[in-house]
A and B are shown apart, each in its own frame.
Chain A
Amino acid sequence: MSLGRRDLLKFLGGAAAGAIFTPVPWKLIDDVSIWTQNWSWLPLVPRGEIQSKYTTCTLCSSGCPVRVRCAGAQPVSMWGAAGHRLCPIGLSAHHLPYHPGRLARPMEHTQGGKWQPITLEAAVERISTGLSGCLRQRGSIAIVDGRAGTTASLLYKRFVAQTNAAVYIADETTARNGIDLDRTSTLLSLGVPLQDSWGEPGHVMRLQADGKLTVIHAEARASATASLADTWLPLAPGAETAFVLALAHVILKDGIYDRGRIQKAENFRSFETLIAAFSPERVAAATGLAPDVIGDVARQLAQAGPSVVLAESRPGVDGADELATAVAALNLLIGSEGSEGGILARPEVPVHDSLKDASRVPATTLAAVPDHSVKVLWLDDAEIPWAVLERKLAPEHLVISVSAWPTGAAAHAGLFVPAPLFLESVRDAAAPADSAAAWFRITSPVLPAPPESREGVDLLSQVAEKIGLTPTDSLVDHLHRRAEAIRTAGHGQVVSYADGTATGIAAFSSAEDFWNALANGGAWTQAASAKAPPRLRLPGENSSLEKTMRTATPPPSNPGTAAELPLVVSAYTGPPAASPVLSKLYEESGLKEPPDTAFIHPQTAERAGLKPGARAMVEAGNVKRPVLLEISTLVMPGTLHVSAAPEFHPARPKHSIAGTTAANGRLVRARIWNV
């Protein structure tokens, strides 16, 4: 028998056919796919004892208690502790130290607008040179603190107290006052993302579900908060102040306020005269709300109390101060100032003697800083639109940013020094907006910080020594001293993160015991008590509110073309990065809107002949930016919404849409067309 070439081929064919009916190809596919998941260079969770560590999340001011599950020394998951929930970003915060957008080395901007790494010593030298050059010029150094009310804030104030050249800029509203939310019955929110990034995650929703809180949300778009509100008022963008004053008008007209108290307030008669111009009928067109709707909301606020009115804080943005003034007046009128379920003054967290003088240094607002006067701008986790800050800078200036993320205003810094993340450092958390209690909560490091990262105040202390000012001890030392001051004061209690139990401060016999209780998972807190403000003051006729009616113009009911639409920007706040793992849990668009996306109502798009899903160009003021155009029934007809994402590209931020709106006022008009 002879076998030919053809037989050999048939043999191989038979073998191939047979192989298909064996486990070989199928098992190999499975094993090879597993093999690719276990390459040695892929980061894997180390083997080790599973243990829980407790810390405080400082990604926002809520300061949620966190249980960090660690395998060996490696954090592998994050959970809310002591009955608190975590937001989706907090749940994956242990991924953030490895985020590619995070900078772990000091960087400087080159002439070409690119980041270039420098050593920490070189950065300190450059900052020292910049600061020493303007130490004798009053107000030429501005420190913008994005975490007002913390111990680091006191250390910044201490620096400011040493020299007339420096001013301390911070919004201390939340540090001083908090909302007694658990006892609030009616909450009117003007664009505040109550369900997204305000207060403890789920707090508002839980109170609503328990029937304790009614939420009225006024916003041009059906955002997540609007969708979950008991009442959503589609308020035209830019008409917030007029709306608030119209509510005050109804309350005054109907006499549904505490006459004996309010009529004694400073400027009452003048305020009454001012408010007379803001009848619901008159502001109806500008707000897009029917007069009877405005009347109903006003009566609900006045009669279904305790009520609180909140507005989105936009420091430095034109129109924001007027809105804040109007909201404060309305809160006064409905009796929320200093009363249960309203806005309460937070008890002061005791301060060690070494920082008592510093605690009396006042914070300045950005508006009070003259334009083009700042030569050295120090940003510590500050979320202020760059266009607002840029106005304050002198022609020759140095901007220093101390943050983990080179995004937002930090992207414009000439010098960037990385700050550790909360899982890598010991710091205290700012006070939460949805509680009026005093809090002292510290973070405990579970990961090592990058060697060249520094807390802002520690860096400033290093620089202070170099330029002949008195340096301070480290932030950690001051935190220890503050903890001891709190223990010595003897008020309040410590709530354990592990089981939520509260222990009176008297139970801690030594400073070390108290510190350990905080560092191992505990929050010191002291409840606020209702106390009427000693002096009531309403804005009068000569206040900036007078121009409100002039600036609140109604959106066009029929835009005709897309040439001019009122622009609403969804500015990104909070941590600039989210873990990619989150996309397995939630759609990313549900967490944060995709960057540079324009949303327009289908009716508006149809009238303007705009095609959805296509690239488009938005032009606002002198800024032109390509966007992706999406059609959404959630936005108000006749308006254009653009999501402004954090900028990871320092060369481009001058074209930020967010900066444009900020620079030109609360409401600008924009053109959009398909490209």
Chain B
Amino acid sequence: MKHSGKIAFAAGLLLALHLGWRQFPDVLYSKADQPLQFSHKVHVEDSGMSCEDCHFVRDDGRFTGIPPIAKCAECHAEPLGATPHEKVLVEKYVATLTEIPWRVYSRQPDNVYFPHAAHVKTAKLACESCHGEHGKTENLRPYEQNRISGYSRDIWGPSISRISLKGERLGMKMDDCIDCHTEKKLRHSCLDCHK
């Protein structure tokens, strides 16, 4: 056949593009459910809480991160509702004061020092700048972990290409930090984040 070579080349090209763009991310990231479902929406919209009610900066400047079970126990000493997750929360974790082994989407590697106080308090950066609409979600999406690096997918960002046509922030890699600092004309050096 006259064009069989071109067709074979094109077929190989298209197959590689398909596998690389569509299949590769599914292979690269493993998925795991969170130990418990949690609705930010219920807490923020229905209960009228703000991000800072649970994720706050202590007086000494340290960020609390994910609140300890003691914080949950302040309201959930008794079940608030009849969902199966509420039952697990109260019986398995609150009653025994066992910390919930959350899989943290935004966990930075050990070699990164990220002060929330400097960003949230001093620079008045909104939580959404880095965490997107996570604070309005109804359910916790599965945690995706890079099988090679072990990092959360949120560090790289949802788009495997790290290209955003809408211009929103992509992830939490060092490049994203540098882009933001450059955009805001902030000086930065290696030791700011890598102590």
Contacts and interface: CB of A to CB of B under 8 A. Distances in A.
A81 to B, nearest CB: 15
A3 B190 CA distance: 55
A50 B12 CA distance: 53
Interface residues of A, number: 37
Interface stretch (A17-25, A187-195, A314-322, A511-519): A17-25
Contacts of B102: none
A15 B21 contact: no
A22 B24 contact: yes
Interface of B is mostly: helix
B1 A14 contact: no
Contacts of B6: 10
Interface string B151-166: 1000010001100000
B17 interface: yes
Contact of A1 (B4, B156, B160): B4
B161 A23 contact: yes
B1 A6 contact: no
B13 A17 contact: yes
Nearest to B10: A14
B110 A10 contact: no
A45 B4 contact: no
Contact of B148 (A16, A17, A21, A32): A32
Contact of A10 (B8, B24, B160): B8
B126 interface: no
Contacts of A2: 1
Nearest to B24: A24
A570 to B, nearest CB: 29
Contacts, number: 100
Interface string B13-51: 111110111001000100000000000000000000000
A18 B13 contact: yes
A529 interface: no
B148 A18 contact: no
A6 B14 contact: no
Interface of A: 1-4, 6-8, 10-19, 21-24, 27-28, 30-32, 34-35, 37-38, 44-45, 50, 76-77, 584-585
Of all A-B residue pairs in the complex, the 5 with the closest CB atoms, nearest first, are: A22-B20, A14-B12, A18-B16, A15-B12, A14-B9
8 contacts: A8-B8, A18-B13, A19-B16, A23-B160, A31-B148, A34-B109, A34-B148, A34-B150
Given A17-B13, A34-B149, A37-B111, 16 more contacts: A2-B1, A3-B4, A4-B4, A11-B8, A14-B9, A14-B16, A15-B12, A17-B12, A18-B12, A18-B14, A18-B16, A21-B17, A22-B17, A22-B19, A22-B24, A37-B109
Interface of B: 1, 4-17, 19-21, 24, 28, 62, 109-111, 146, 148-151, 156, 160-161, 190-191, 195
